């Protein structure tokens, strides 16, 4: 457990891959996944191993119960409507996972993999599943799935962690309109299909995710599933226009696509990006660095701290060109220097920045 100020109690263990500190059984469970090639399988922003650990990380930082964290870690291992990643055979190997995860967690993994997940998201966005009776879904084959309120809450939380971890501009394009996406032929859209694309932050997914988190407040209060810390614990919903605007403004600065003849231009663009989307950390970190360069240590400290908090509120990066741990490390360097009221005065000196004291 971390006693470092500004950090979630599990952040240092997550950064160090100290899995035992979080769950003594976790190393054995990870070995079970790796024996089934989870570390070799491709996934949207890396490997399946990378994805599963990222989902688990978000659930840890959201203070989810152990069974929800395990659901996130094994959420696609039986395959699902989205991916061909069957690491375990549902017909013959459920006992293996039941022994490893426990009966409740394994049953939830099985249900989460089998149910029509797109229809689940659509139903929640349409205001269904908020009552004491839970939610009933039917797939294209007429099979019925009955979810208790506790399962509805758990599946919302894991869906948000799952989608948030993997989504970047490539999925904005190939899965445009999710969860109401339409089939599009690949050949005429070949340019959109080229992976990984420019790896821009997503411009069209946080609006939907914020609505899912917000829906948790409408569920019965006895589910035992904490509301994730994202979007001010689900109290706020980001407008789709604000999400797209913030992504565009951030990208203009971070890639220097906008003419940056003086630092005030970058400052105005970043301030506007933060105003439109205060729920992600990376624009705040750019703003903190700019403030450090200007000698504005108070602004640098407030923005670096807010950026670090946002990264921990998500457990995944918004700008996926750099992994979450790298953004956290950079946020802590910015915050440390802001509090020490110092910053390198030459470009070469930036190369010497390193370990947080």
pTM of the model: 0.96
Q: Which residues have C-beta within 8 Å of that of residue 112, sequence separation ≥ 6?
A: 71, 75, 80, 155, 158
What distance lies between CA 290 and its chain's CA centroid? Answer: 26
* Domain end point (choices 213, 234, 255): 234
Domain end point (choices 234, 250, 279): 234
| Residue finishing a domain among 113, 139, 160 | 113
Residues 184, 126 share a domain: yes
The answer to whether residues 72 and 96 belong to one domain is yes
- Strand residues in the chain grouped as ranges (E): 42-43, 46-47, 135-138, 144-147
Burial 161-177 (b: 16+ CB within 10 A, else e): bbbbbbbbbbbbbbbee
Residues 212 and 281 both lie in one domain = no
Query: For all residues of the chain together, what is the average pLDDT?
Result: 94
Which range marks the domain in which residue 308 is found?
238-357
Q: For 57-112, how does the pLDDT look when each residue is reduced to its tens digit (9 = 90+)?
A: 999 999 999 999 999 999 989 888 887 778 898 888 899 999 999 998 999 999 99
* Other beta carbons within 10 Å of 65: 15
pLDDT digits 0-9 by tens, 207-251? 999 999 999 999 999 999 999 999 999 999 999 999 999 999 999
Closest C-alpha among 329, 325, 328, 316 to residue 56: 316
Does 16 lie in the same domain as 100? Answer: yes
Spatial distance between the Cα atoms of 313 and 306, rounded to a whole number of angstroms: 10
């Amino acid at each position: 457990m971390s006693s470092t100020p500004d950090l979630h109690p599990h952040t240092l263990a997550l950064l160090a891959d100290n899995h035992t500190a979080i769950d003594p059984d976790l190393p054995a469970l990870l070995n079970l996944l790796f024996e089934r090639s989870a570390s070799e399988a491709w996934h949207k922003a890396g490997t399946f191993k990378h994805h599963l650990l990222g989902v688990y990380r978000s659930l840890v930082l959201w203070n989810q119960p152990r069974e929800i964290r395990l659901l996130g870690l094994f959420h696609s291992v039986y395959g699902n409507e989205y991916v061909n990643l069957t690491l375990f055979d549902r017909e013959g190997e459920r006992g293996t996972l039941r022994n490893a995860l426990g009966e409740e967690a394994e049953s939830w993994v099985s249900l989460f993999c089998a149910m029509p997940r797109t229809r689940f998201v659509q139903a929640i966005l349409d205001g269904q599943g908020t009552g004491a009776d839970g939610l009933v879904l039917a797939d294209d084959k007429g099979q019925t799935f009955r979810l208790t309120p506790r399962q509805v809450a758990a599946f919302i939380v894991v869906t948000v962690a799952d989608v948030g971890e993997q989504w970047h501009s490539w999925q904005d394009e190939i899965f445009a309109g999710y969860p109401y996406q339409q089939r599009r032929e690949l050949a005429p859209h070949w340019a959109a299909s080229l992976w990984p694309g420019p790896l821009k932050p997503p411009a069209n997914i946080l609006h939907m995710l914020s609505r899912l988190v917000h829906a948790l407040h409408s569920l019965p209060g006895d589910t035992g599933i904490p509301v994730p810390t994202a979007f001010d614990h689900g109290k706020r919903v980001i407008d789709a226009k604000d999400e797209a605007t913030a992504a565009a403004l951030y990208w203009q600065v971070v890639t220097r696509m906008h003419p940056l003849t003086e630092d005030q231009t970058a400052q105005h663009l970043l301030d506007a990006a933060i105003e439109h989307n205060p729920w992600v950390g990376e624009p705040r970190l750019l703003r903190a660095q700019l403030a450090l360069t200007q000698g504005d240590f108070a602004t640098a400290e407030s923005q670096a701290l807010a950026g670090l908090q946002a990264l921990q509120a998500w457990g995944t990066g918004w700008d996926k060109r750099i992994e979450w741990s790298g953004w956290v490390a950079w946020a802590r360097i910015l915050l440390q220097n802001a509090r020490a009221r110092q910053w390198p005065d030459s470009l070469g000196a930036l190369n010497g920045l390193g370990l947080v004291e």
